Amino acid sequence: MGTKANDLLIGHYLDAARFMLFAGEIRDLFPRIKALDQRLLALHRFVHVLSDPDRGAAFIADRWVWSKDEVSDWETTPAHALQASEIAQVIKKFNDANPGHRLKAGSEHRDLGDQIWGWTHNAGVKTNAPEYLTKARIEIKRKAKDGTPRYPDLGDVIDPATGQHAFQIGHGGLDLVALSAAALLFWPAALLPATIGLIEAERFQAVARFIEFLKKRFKGSGTITVAAPGLSAHGTGRAIDFRVHDRSGKKLHGAGGAANWRSSGFAAQLKAAMAVAPHFHGPLTAPDEPWHYFFDPDA
């Protein structure tokens, strides 16, 4: 099987996995990432989060990008007023401790289109995505002990009666994540056909096996400085980037210079000022952004 055929098969398994695990907007996100390697890496990121016991489906649902209307609605809530109050206290504490400097705060909403653009144009993604596709090409060619393919052709995956994808076993809902997702990721692949008998065993096992591959940790040679599309904290109204200006208004430190933030002492000064804001946590460590804090009204 040549590279083109392998990539076609990988694409089929990618689609089957996204239909099996996700619903709604999350499931529909992946076709918007045109390059197979970048789409595959994004799915790996989602599966990795989904299978993390400390994050899982609840994290995805909580972080999923808001629409502009949802952001506008958020700005009318008591939680937003609390956020604004704590930011004002942080700014005052920082400015009092740093005469001649002024702290400012901003939260630029990045909708799903912005986040997809950021993913596809990120240097780390451009480096790591081809490397991950290479691993998938090796995986998709693996054979069982009897010499049969571990990843057979999935055949006709569209139900002619309903028009639905054959692997669409997830449920839509307010949480946007298929209700079956957590179970699928934690059950051994060999048990799945006996548990859910809607799809013949061979195909179901093969897709479950591909999901097991997606779950495995991957570290490419590049550094990815963006979240998977839809999961950026800037997709909601709760991520705040702080900036330091001098008295004239000139920006001295802001996004793009973690080393400068630390060497100048402003990272430590901001951390100290955040003590007056109990509903904020941070700074962000991956990627390294000492100016980035996240507001959680339930903290």
Residue with tokens 């401790």: 97
The predicted structure's pLDDT at residue 171: 37
Q: Would you state the pLDDT for residue 93?
A: 97
- Look at residues 8, 2, 6, 18 and name the one whose alpha carbon lies nearest to residue 214: 18
Name the pairing type of β-strands 239-246 and 280-281: unpaired
Q: What is residue 134's predicted lDDT score, i.e. its pLDDT?
A: 97
How much is the pLDDT for 14?
A: 95
Kindly give the parts of the chain with pLDDT less than 70.
1, 159-163, 166, 169-201, 249, 252-256
The answer to whether 280 touches 290, Cβ cutoff 8 Å, is no
pLDDT value of position 172: 37
pLDDT of residue 250: 72
Query: Alpha-carbon distance 247 to 100, whole Å?
Result: 5
206-236 pLDDT, tens digit each: 888 899 899 999 999 999 989 999 999 889 8
Q: How far apart are CA 105 and CA 126, in angstroms?
A: 31
3-state helix, strand, coil in the chain (%, to 5): 50, 10, 40
Residues near 199 by beta carbon (within 8 Å), at least 6 away in sequence:
166, 167, 169, 193
Question: β-strand 292-295 against 280-281: which pairing, if any?
Answer: antiparallel
- Angle CA 189–208–38, to nearest 5: 145
Six-digit token pair at 20?
């099996």
